[in-house]
Amino acid sequence: MVSAKFYRTQCVGISRKGLNIVVKNTRKIEKYDQTTFKNGKIFNLIASRLKLQLVVSMLIGNLSEQQQQQQKRRKLMEQLSSKMLKSRRTLYNELSESNSPNNVRMVSNE
């Protein structure tokens, strides 16, 4: 579970030690229970303000965007490594074909 601290519906910080989302108002501190974070999304958020939900969803959205960028980087690296492996294989195949006994026989016959 994750707890987030907000001041005037703006995020002050995120800590992983608590179980509640704490909203700091100028008048009082409100706590919202039954908050579950699953795969970067919020379920069962009990909140009295739409702004709080928007801020929390934007905050989680930023985290998910970072994860998507990391996945894109990983895919690009995998594609690059696979291309390098393919080029190595083709180079090896060309070398092995040029050094095959058939080619040597053809050269010796000429």
pLDDT, tens digit (0-9, with 9 covering 90-100), for 50-108: 455 555 665 666 666 777 788 888 888 888 888 877 887 787 777 777 665 555 444 44
Considering only the C-alpha atoms of the chain, give the largest distance between any 2 of them, rounded to a whole number of Å.
Answer: 99
Show contacts of 97-100: CB within 8 Å, 24+ apart: none
State the residue range of the domain holding 51.
24-95
In a domain, 109, yes or no: no
In a domain, 50, yes or no: yes
| Stated pTM of the model | 0.31
- Give how many domains the chain has, as a whole number: 1
In a domain, 100, yes or no: no
Instruction: Copy the structure tokens of residue 37.
Output: 């974070």
